[in-house]
Chains A and B, each alone.
Chain A
Amino acid sequence: MLRLLWLIPAIPCASFLLLALFGKRLPRGAVAAMGTGSIGLSMIASFLVAAAFIFERPGGLPFAQPLWTWLAVDGFAPVFGFYLDGLSVVMILVVSLVAFLIHLYSIGFMAGDEGYSRFFAYMNLFVGSMLILVLSDNLLALYLGWEGVGLCSYLLIGFWYREPENARAAMKAFLVTRVGDTAFAIGLFMLFTGLGTLQIQEIAQKAPMVWAPGSLFAAVAAALLLGGAVGKSAQIPLQTWLPDAMAGPTPVSALIHAATMVTAGVYLIARMNVLFMLAPQVRLILALVGTITLLTAGASALAQKDIKRVLAYSTMSQVGYMFLALGVGAWSAAIFHFMTHACFKALLFLSAGVVIQALDNEHDIFRMGGLRKALPWAFWTFLIGAASLSALPFVTAGFYSKDLILLGAWASPEGGHVLWAAGLAGAALTSLYAFRVVFVVFFGRQKAPISHTPGPSMKIPLALLSVLSIGAGLLEMPKALGNWTLLADLTHGALPAAGSAITGATTEGMLLAAGAVVPLLGLLAAGLLYLSGGASAAVQRIPGMSIVHRFWYSGWGFDWLYNAVFVAPFTWAARIDRGDGIDAFYEGTARIVKSARTLLVVTQSGKVRWYVMGVTIGAIVFILIAVLG
């Protein structure tokens, strides 16, 4: 059963090929069946493999499935193969399940679109690449999956390519993540130079032997890998692409920019934990990056009025939490939060999609209102998603995962209490902005009529994700509440245990209480400000508030900064260099050809007798040559 492992990425890739080649000629039903069915098959295979792994592998022994040697050059012979351990099991389960539900949703959401088969082809390629990324045994193959998901992100953000805005957003995403990818590649070069291999397990064994903890080489390599993760996961400073990436269709935002691709960075760091354990400075940077991002993104989310942009900044913020967890050494907490985040963020995006579609592609929350009665499915599912996002206590999965991170932060030896406080403030912000959207969109007076209600293909995923957003927390409960450690047990082979000081039960209890109260406070504040008759208008009139609002709305001015520092000088230099030698060479060639054409076109008069004359003169010349020569 474990040998089915290679099918998990292979089926979506094969489906991509078929849809890319023949999709236009197939009827819509077949395209939907193939596109969604392939992910469904992959999901079933994931479940079977996971079951086999959990129940039949003693002690969580990892399973490796090498497939073929990719290339063999002078001592560099990476083997393309797949590797299954506790971490991979979690990843493939989450990715395939969420992807399947989103594909199911897309059948209904993208039903009227003319690029239907193109959409499913790209989505399948994405899922295939993502699965290659999480299953591969070799950093080179991981990079292949990394690039693949980046490509699909570009293709799907710019899916409606006829709008120039969408194309620009896709370019921006690709270019910004490229900066990260370059850092990643250089990191790979360094790893190979230092260790002579790119097989992940070999690196895990060799690195502690070759590099002492704290060595500069390891730190630089780890920092470069971190750079790649920062780009892909939209953390500061490479986060500017994610809000604009919302130009793509809502299922794309749900799958790529919420549940899976942006967490690829988290997976990379978790997978390479051995390397990061050798570089404590880099881990500190990791935690700081996560913390700063979670706070700034949370503030920005509070100022947005496009519902998808709120969710984008929210994603940025939640991935910041995951980075924070990784930085303080709470490895399995990060993966746990990834799991719950995938469920509730996808849920939020999908129900936002229902609202957007119902209001004919309206994204502005202040033009929506009172949709509680008109769109009950959207209301309840969005509410559950927002509750899980805000980590409302006990009933939501988000509570348990976020709480685990906060516990880990508190216990961290380097400034743990500061990090914990920042995380808690972030939780307050999260709850505030999440329920802001809930109250503004679903309560109050209805401002626009609805034209669409969701069909069954959209309702089923919403229902399933709602259940998961509530129930997935049961995998890992803190000691005070039952001490279930299913997830940590599963991944203990792959991830080191949270190397933190054991906190006493009372400390843990107090931290838990704080973590429970703060989101509720945020909910209360949101209600006070944004329910009809709320105080938000009064708050806006506080002097200086509008400047703060504009600053947060623009994502803390990063776009302006990068534009001034990088983009403007580059375009200026390109403009100045327009007439240089190389351009002149090419233009000159074109001009010469054009003038030659003007000369030669005279011989093409179109008249028969002219051509006969040409033949005659030719005959004369040739006979002369033959006779005289």
Chain B
Amino acid sequence: MSFAFYIAGAVAIISTLLAVTRINAVHALLYLLVSLLSVALIFLFLGAPFVAAFEVIIYGGAIMVLFAFVVMMLGLGRKAMAQERGWLTLRVWLGPALLSAVLIIELFYVVYSGPFPAIRVVPTTPQDVAVRLFGPYLLGVELVSVVLLLGLVGAFHLAYQLGKKERAAHKRGMHP
């Protein structure tokens, strides 16, 4: 059954590669979505159903949707796409690809340096996760809620400033 893991892994790698190299933003988003779904599948294979669900719901369902909203709001048309095509030449990819390759080799070296026992997959139920969350990691949960609050307030403040001109125009009776 472990071959399912390898298939999902391959799908993840290919779709991520495609996502990073697309010119059209929406295409990239969709490929990334596929990548996330495959990663969620891998989580299931690793016996982590809880985070698998979260991966799909939050990463795929919230963050990617947020990206989609912004892409649609910016409405970058053909001109932007042509610009992207101009920027993404092979020469541009060469350096970073080299750096990443070097890093992957290093990672390879590190990971294979010690004998690690294979993962004997034992499903970790949501109950286990919950027990740990509300036990030792309670403080972490509270802090994370603060971070989310920060994100909320920050995004709100920034967007508020953006909309000031429109609100002023609206007030003067001119419909935007």
Tell me the minimal C-beta distance from A25 to chain B in angstroms: 36
- Asked whether B159 is an interface residue with its Cβ less than 8 Å from the other chain, the reply is no
Contacts of B110 in A (CB 8 A): 623, 627
| Cβ 8 A contact of B99, one of A617, A623, A624, A627 | A617
- Asked whether B103 is an interface residue with its Cβ less than 8 Å from the other chain, the reply is yes
- With an 8 Å Cβ cutoff, the count of chain A residues facing the other chain is 8
Give per-residue flags for B151-171: 1 if the beta carbon is below 8 A from chain A beta carbons, else 0. 000000000000000000000
Report the bound CA distance from A617 to B96 in whole Å.
Answer: 10
| Cβ 8 A contact of A619, one of B95, B96, B103, B109 | B103
- Asked whether A613 is an interface residue with its Cβ less than 8 Å from the other chain, the reply is yes
| Cβ 8 A contact of A627, one of B95, B96, B102, B109 | B109
Report the bound CA distance from A620 to B109 in whole Å.
Answer: 13
* Chain B residue with Cβ nearest A619: B103
**Do most interface residues of chain A lie in helix, strand or loop, or is the interface mixed?**
helix
Report the bound CA distance from A623 to B113 in whole Å.
Answer: 14
Give per-residue flags for A482-513: 1 if the beta carbon is below 8 A from chain B beta carbons, else 0. 00000000000000000000000000000000
- Asked whether A616 is an interface residue with its Cβ less than 8 Å from the other chain, the reply is yes
Contacts of B113 in A (CB 8 A): 627
Tell me the minimal C-beta distance from A202 to chain B in angstroms: 75
Contact assessment for A613 and B99 in the assembled complex, using a CB-CB cutoff below 8 Å: yes
- For window 572-629 of A, CB contacts with B under 8 Å fall at 613, 616-617, 619-620, 623-624, 627
Contact assessment for B106 and A616 in the assembled complex, using a CB-CB cutoff below 8 Å: no
Give per-residue flags for B72-116: 1 if the beta carbon is below 8 A from chain A beta carbons, else 0. 000000000000000000000001100100110010011001000
Tell me the minimal C-beta distance from B34 to chain A in angstroms: 26
Contact assessment for A616 and B109 in the assembled complex, using a CB-CB cutoff below 8 Å: no
* Chain B residue with Cβ nearest A628: B109
Report the bound CA distance from A167 to B113 in whole Å.
Answer: 76
Contacts of A623 in B (CB 8 A): 103, 106, 110
* Chain A residue with Cβ nearest B113: A627
Report the bound CA distance from A613 to B94 in whole Å.
Answer: 13
- For window 103-139 of B, CB contacts with A under 8 Å fall at 103, 106, 109-110, 113
* Chain B residue with Cβ nearest A626: B110
Contacts of A620 in B (CB 8 A): 99, 102-103, 106
Tell me the minimal C-beta distance from A154 to chain B in angstroms: 54
Contacts of A617 in B (CB 8 A): 99
Contacts of A616 in B (CB 8 A): 99, 103
Contacts of B106 in A (CB 8 A): 620, 623-624, 627
Report the bound CA distance from A182 to B140 in whole Å.
Answer: 72
- For window 220-277 of A, CB contacts with B under 8 Å fall at none
- For window 511-530 of A, CB contacts with B under 8 Å fall at none
Report the bound CA distance from A616 to B95 in whole Å.
Answer: 12
Contacts of B99 in A (CB 8 A): 613, 616-617, 620
Report the bound CA distance from A620 to B99 in whole Å.
Answer: 8
Contacts of B109 in A (CB 8 A): 627
Contacts of A619 in B (CB 8 A): 103
- For window 332-358 of A, CB contacts with B under 8 Å fall at none
Contacts of B95 in A (CB 8 A): 613
Report the bound CA distance from A620 to B102 in whole Å.
Answer: 8
Report the bound CA distance from A619 to B104 in whole Å.
Answer: 12
Contacts of B102 in A (CB 8 A): 620
Contacts of B96 in A (CB 8 A): 613
Contacts of B103 in A (CB 8 A): 616, 619-620, 623
Tell me the minimal C-beta distance from B105 to chain A in angstroms: 10
* Chain B residue with Cβ nearest A624: B106
Report the bound CA distance from A619 to B96 in whole Å.
Answer: 14
Contacts of A613 in B (CB 8 A): 95-96, 99
* Chain B residue with Cβ nearest A612: B96
Report the bound CA distance from A65 to B96 in whole Å.
Answer: 84
Report the bound CA distance from A228 to B54 in whole Å.
Answer: 90
Report the bound CA distance from A189 to B48 in whole Å.
Answer: 90
Report the bound CA distance from A564 to B99 in whole Å.
Answer: 73
Report the bound CA distance from A488 to B113 in whole Å.
Answer: 106
Contacts of A627 in B (CB 8 A): 106, 109-110, 113
* Chain B residue with Cβ nearest A616: B99
Tell me the minimal C-beta distance from A306 to chain B in angstroms: 64
Report the bound CA distance from A472 to B96 in whole Å.
Answer: 96
* Chain B residue with Cβ nearest A623: B106
- For window 283-337 of A, CB contacts with B under 8 Å fall at none
Report the bound CA distance from A623 to B102 in whole Å.
Answer: 11
Tell me the minimal C-beta distance from B162 to chain A in angstroms: 21
Report the bound CA distance from A623 to B96 in whole Å.
Answer: 17
Tell me the minimal C-beta distance from B166 to chain A in angstroms: 29
Report the bound CA distance from A616 to B104 in whole Å.
Answer: 12
Tell me the minimal C-beta distance from A395 to chain B in angstroms: 82
Report the bound CA distance from A625 to B14 in whole Å.
Answer: 31
Tell me the minimal C-beta distance from A285 to chain B in angstroms: 82
* Chain A residue with Cβ nearest B99: A616
Tell me the minimal C-beta distance from B110 to chain A in angstroms: 6
Q: List 14 A-B contacts (CB under 8 A).
A: A613-B95, A616-B99, A616-B103, A617-B99, A619-B103, A620-B99, A620-B102, A620-B103, A623-B103, A623-B106, A624-B106, A627-B106, A627-B109, A627-B110
Interface residues, chain A, with chain B CB atoms under 8 Å away: 613, 616-617, 619-620, 623-624, 627
Question: What 8 pairs between A and B have smallest CB-CB spacing?
Answer: A623-B106, A616-B99, A620-B102, A627-B109, A620-B103, A627-B110, A627-B106, A624-B106
Other contacts beyond A620-B106, A624-B106: 5, CB < 8 A: A613-B99, A616-B103, A620-B102, A620-B103, A627-B109
